[in-house]
Amino acid sequence: MALVTLDTVKRNAELEAYIVRGNEYLGAIGYTDHGLRHANLVASISRNILLRLGFPEREAELAGIGGYLHDVGNVVGRWGHGQSGAILAWQVLRDLGMPPEELAAVLGAIGGHDPEGVAGPVHSVAAAVTLGDKSDVHRSRVRNPDRTTFDIHDRVNYAVQRSFVRVDERCRTITLELTIDTSISPVMDYFEIFMTRMVMCRRAASFLGCAFELSINEVRLL
């Protein structure tokens, strides 16, 4: 049986429907984008992190799959979506023929990316997905068209004009580089809502044998 690849997963109509509908549900309660744009970006970042650090290509591919599916549980509900998402993904990936040892890595990544769950990397795949997910901060995620009614999450995301994850395999550093328009949101607001995520990134980078750094407007803050 052929290996289950990221392309295989992206072509699966059932999984795509879960991601799209879950994103619609979150939009109805005021959340930023968690749809296919976010899924594809997290998949790409997660996969590239492991490739840049010299991990096996198959492991990087599993990180891409975990990154693409990490929010699939939003179709069930936001609370505990990491755990419900792992259950949904298990059924589909098993039916596609993914072997148990690979399933274990992907399911651990999906279940462990959520700050409301049990935070902490359990595998290199999970560590990469955590970093990929938490680095997606950008104005393109904001769905509220009325800036006068932005909450702090809308405001912080809208203020971010550029977001990039830089992996330095030689120095063993993973840096989240942000460009923020401070006339829209002060840097302190970023830390107010994302400090837990930065702690998760630091733990994930450490699991991969790297230091995590945060740079905002070309100033290193972490």
DSSP letters spanning 60-104 = HHHHHHHHHHTTGGGGT-STTHHHHHHHHHHHHHHHHT--HHHHH
Helix axes 57-69, 81-96, angle to 10 degrees: 120
What pLDDT, in 10s, does the model give residues 30-57?
A: 999 999 999 999 999 999 999 999 999 9
What pLDDT, in 10s, does the model give residues 3-27?
A: 999 999 999 999 999 999 999 999 9
Q: What pLDDT is attached to residue 117?
A: 53
The superfamily (CATH) of domain 6-220 is Hypothetical protein af1432 (1.10.3210.10)
Model-wide pTM > 0.85:
yes
Q: What pLDDT is attached to residue 119?
A: 56
What pLDDT, in 10s, does the model give residues 86-117?
A: 999 999 999 999 999 999 999 999 998 876 55
Q: What pLDDT is attached to residue 1?
A: 62
